[in-house]
Structure 1
Amino acid sequence: MAEEKEINGECTAEVKPHEKNDSSDQKSDADNPATEGAVEENEWLDILGSGQLKKKVIKAGENDSRPERYHVCVVNIQGTLEDGTVVEKYENYRFQLGDAEVIQGLDLAIPLMDVGEEADILVGPRFGYGTIGRPPDIPPNAEITYRVQLLSSESETPLENLSALERKRIGNMKRERGNWWYSRDEHNFAIQCYRRALDFLDDIEGGILVEPDQDGKKPNEDELQDLLEDRLKVYNNLAAAQLKIKAYDSALSSVQTVLRCQPKNVKALFRKGKILAARGDTEAAIPVLRLASQLEPESKVIHQELSQLVKQKKKDSEMEKNLYRRMLGQDKVDENSKIDSRSKYSKISWGLVLGSLATMCVGIAAYKFKLV
């Protein structure tokens, strides 16, 4: 039940053009302000003014046909390193703009393209794969130049028009994208993907369009159950990512959503215990982790976390007892008693020493007297 680089024991699928390493300083959508206005072909446009993201028009497209956020875009794309190595190449690649389905540089630059346009987009590491890179082909701090051709752009299909199977497919795709971000410690982007996944997997007003069974006579209720299972996976993952950024209240709300439906979900119990412990509520965290340990007794991770909390609670109890003693003045009384005892002991000891010396002197005098 590894918690750091794997979510729910799932292997994340290889994703297409992805994101930067340092997400804390960046906005995660395509709504960032960018330089507008006409730019001649073969001239570089410094989109953010930092030199980290540039665009050069190779071939103009249709006027006034730029995509908007959440539009579904189709592109041909090729990414090349500074030494000429091609590291990414996709034809008719379909993605949703502003949903962290491509690296942030492309999410910011493609909204400045017209349909049919072909452009070079230079993406610095800050808006690309960052200090991590993408082993083994993209090194850390790599600058990548993308040749992009925007083939089409269209609005997303309204949720109420999607069948349960289609919503399941899209929701799980966005969940897997979130898992990829999580594996890179890009927790803000992971949270963005998980929330978008829930848009497709959660209930909506008016219900979900359910496809009929093979006999065509009744709705397939198994599809709705599958949606519920996938939804709880997302909430569990969302809680883990929120815990990483110390959004404890939000994380607790996410995990409680899981436990309301599945009170014995071990991963949800484990994460709830960690959230409560992180909030400093050790006493409430221990019984939660004990239940998780009973449900999954072979889990070393749960046992380790529980053992640490039990030790912490014992330490806290001792500190509280010492605090109460100081408040009641017991330490002062005990200290005075120790001083009195030491004084009496000192007097008795000195008395014994002096008596012994007197006896020795008498003995020596008598001995000398006899010798004389």
Structure 2
Amino acid sequence: MPPLIDNENVTNQSLMDQEKKSAMDESENKSNPEPTSVSMNPDNVKENDVKDECLSEINQEKTCTGEDAEKEEEEYLDILGNGSLKRKILRAAAKNAKRPISSDLVTIKVEGKLEDGTKVDVYDSLSFVLGDGDVIQAWDLAVALMEEGQVIELQTDARFAYGEKGRKPDIPPNSSIAYIIELVKKDYPMDYESMSAAEKLKYGAVRILDPATCSDTAESLQKLLESRLKCYNNMAACQLKTDAYDAAIKSCRMVLDVQPDNVKALFRTGKGLAAKGETKEGLMYMRRAQKLDPDTKVINQEIMKLSKKLQAESQSEKDMYQKMLGQKPPAKTNKQSENSSSVWKWTSVIGGVTIAIVAMGITAYRHLQH
């Protein structure tokens, strides 16, 4: 007898086989999905490919633009935010390097180039007090953001370099300059009070030439005083060139307070006053300078020019006052014509009398001969 078959077991086994088969079919369909009816259309395929390609290019372009912008931003730092002063780090500083602060004594190595490639401001070692205005503004602003040992490229407009005037003979007016700057070292702020006269002369700033210590000798103090006066005189000359007349007069008076007969200070005070329209006062200072140095052509020429200007101003004032009072200035041409006519009149009379006398003499002489 054949063995008995358990129908329930057979049924369960068949159901299990069907579930396995359907699960295998589903995994096969997932691994090899059938193309949809839309993808089978050639036109749709081309359109989708073009769209995908365009999107890819746009995304790539956005990515590139963003990377370039970030790269450019990393290279140059717009210090003031208006594009007039930018820097790029060429060599980074050490990890523990520190930035200088205002009043620190910094030493830099610097080389500048104009737009045509001309080299300017080339210094292997230049020391200055940060923030004191001893150098151009571009250096003061840029070095304050540097760290010791760092090298940067600095691009500056004329406004933060040598401005509209330039610097004769090498830097033309309104020149943009590119600098390579290395911050060699930074030192703590200088103690001016403890400096000797020789050290003060070395750094040469006007405001540190004033105080003196008791240990300084009379000779060193005299040198210090002379250097101080030279600084003020030179500063006045620069201020006159930049039309800063009030500042120039103030600098000259700092000299005249110590040396009342300083010819240069007298001359520059006169120029400053005349430029402000105070011609009479300016001429007074010029004449004082002329008495001390009568052979200087520049002083003599300036006095002649100011004398003519003062005369013209005085005549202009007289004419203005006469107009205010309703009076007309005298006509010079009429007086001259009257004078000339009277001269001719008397000349004619004298000439006629002389001729008559001569004629009478001749007649008498002839009468006596007969």
Interval containing the TM-score (normalised by the shorter chain): 0.5 to 0.7
Q: 2:297 aligns with which of 280, 283, 300?
A: 300
CA distance in 2 between counterparts of 1:258 and 1:291 reads 15
**Would you say the 8 A contact 1:62–1:115 is kept in 2?**
no
Identify which range, 302-311 or 280-289, moves more after superposition. 280-289
1:24 is matched with none
Greater helix fraction, Structure 1 or Structure 2: 2
Does 2:137 align with 1:104? yes
Tell me: CA distance 1:71–1:242, structure 2 relative to 1, closer, same or farther (3 Å). same
Q: How many residues align?
A: 260
**Would you say the 8 A contact 1:75–1:152 is kept in 2?**
yes
How far residue 234 of structure 1 moved from its aligned partner, in angstroms, is 1.9
Does 2:204 align with 1:199? no
2:288 is matched with 291
CA distance in 2 between counterparts of 1:240 and 1:49 reads 35
CA distance in 2 between counterparts of 1:117 and 1:273 reads 48
1:314 is matched with 311
1:144 is matched with 178
Q: Which has the larger radius of gyration?
A: 2
CA distance in 2 between counterparts of 1:47 and 1:140 reads 20
CA distance in 2 between counterparts of 1:54 and 1:322 reads 58
CA distance in 2 between counterparts of 1:316 and 1:89 reads 49
Does 2:77 align with 1:45? yes
After TM superposition, the structure 1 = structure 2 runs for residues 42-121 of structure 1, keeping only pairs within 5 Å, are 43-57=75-89, 58-63=91-96, 65-79=98-112, 90-121=123-154
CA distance in 2 between counterparts of 1:168 and 1:272 reads 26
Tell me: CA distance 1:40–1:161, structure 2 relative to 1, closer, same or farther (3 Å). farther
1:210 is matched with 215
How far residue 267 of structure 1 moved from its aligned partner, in angstroms, is 0.9
Show structure 1 runs of 5+ residues with no match. 1-38, 172-196, 212-219, 339-372
CA distance in 2 between counterparts of 1:244 and 1:136 reads 17
Tell me: CA distance 1:251–1:121, structure 2 relative to 1, closer, same or farther (3 Å). closer
**Would you say the 8 A contact 1:163–1:209 is kept in 2?**
no
1:168 is matched with 201
Tell me: CA distance 1:247–1:67, structure 2 relative to 1, closer, same or farther (3 Å). same
Show structure 2 runs of 5+ residues with no match. 1-70, 335-370
Does 2:251 align with 1:254? yes
Tell me: CA distance 1:245–1:77, structure 2 relative to 1, closer, same or farther (3 Å). closer
TM-score by length of 1: 0.58
How far residue 159 of structure 1 moved from its aligned partner, in angstroms, is 0.7
**Would you say the 8 A contact 1:65–1:114 is kept in 2?**
yes
**Would you say the 8 A contact 2:76–2:86 is kept in 1?**
yes
CA distance in 1 between counterparts of 2:239 and 2:117 reads 39
Which structure is richer in relative contact order (CA contacts within 8 A, separation 6 or more)? 1
CA distance in 1 between counterparts of 2:137 and 2:189 reads 20
Specify the code of the residue in structure 1 equivalent to 2:304. Answer: S
**Would you say the 8 A contact 2:120–2:170 is kept in 1?**
no
CA distance in 2 between counterparts of 1:41 and 1:328 reads 72
After TM superposition, the structure 1 = structure 2 runs for residues 125-144 of structure 1, keeping only pairs within 5 Å, are 125-128=158-161, 132=166, 141=175, 143-144=177-178
Tell me: CA distance 1:42–1:199, structure 2 relative to 1, closer, same or farther (3 Å). same
How far residue 138 of structure 1 moved from its aligned partner, in angstroms, is 9.4
**Would you say the 8 A contact 2:159–2:174 is kept in 1?**
no
Q: 2:227 aligns with which of 211, 221, 230?
A: 230
CA distance in 2 between counterparts of 1:319 and 1:81 reads 49
Q: Percent identity?
A: 42
How far residue 319 of structure 1 moved from its aligned partner, in angstroms, is 2.3
Tell me: CA distance 1:134–1:254, structure 2 relative to 1, closer, same or farther (3 Å). closer
Tell me: CA distance 1:269–1:71, structure 2 relative to 1, closer, same or farther (3 Å). same
CA RMSD in angstroms, aligned pairs only: 3.6
Post-superposition CA distance 1:220-261 (Å, at most 9, x none): 201111111111222222333334444444433322222232
**Would you say the 8 A contact 1:41–1:60 is kept in 2?**
no
- What is the DSSP-based 3-state SS (H/G/I as helix, E as strand, rest coil) of the residue aligned with 2:148? coil
CA distance in 2 between counterparts of 1:164 and 1:324 reads 58
**Would you say the 8 A contact 1:115–1:151 is kept in 2?**
yes
After TM superposition, the structure 1 = structure 2 runs for residues 252-291 of structure 1, keeping only pairs within 5 Å, are 252-291=249-288
TM-score by length of 2: 0.59
CA distance in 2 between counterparts of 1:83 and 1:313 reads 47
CA distance in 2 between counterparts of 1:83 and 1:239 reads 32
CA distance in 2 between counterparts of 1:43 and 1:130 reads 26
Post-superposition CA distance 1:186-241 (Å, at most 9, x none): xxxxxxxxxxx221211x3xx42534xxxxxxxx2011111111112222223333
CA distance in 2 between counterparts of 1:167 and 1:149 reads 26
CA distance in 2 between counterparts of 1:145 and 1:289 reads 43
**Would you say the 8 A contact 1:56–1:121 is kept in 2?**
yes
CA distance in 2 between counterparts of 1:87 and 1:235 reads 26
CA distance in 1 between counterparts of 2:248 and 2:163 reads 27
- What is the DSSP-based 3-state SS (H/G/I as helix, E as strand, rest coil) of the residue aligned with 1:112? coil
CA distance in 2 between counterparts of 1:91 and 1:317 reads 57
CA distance in 1 between counterparts of 2:323 and 2:219 reads 63
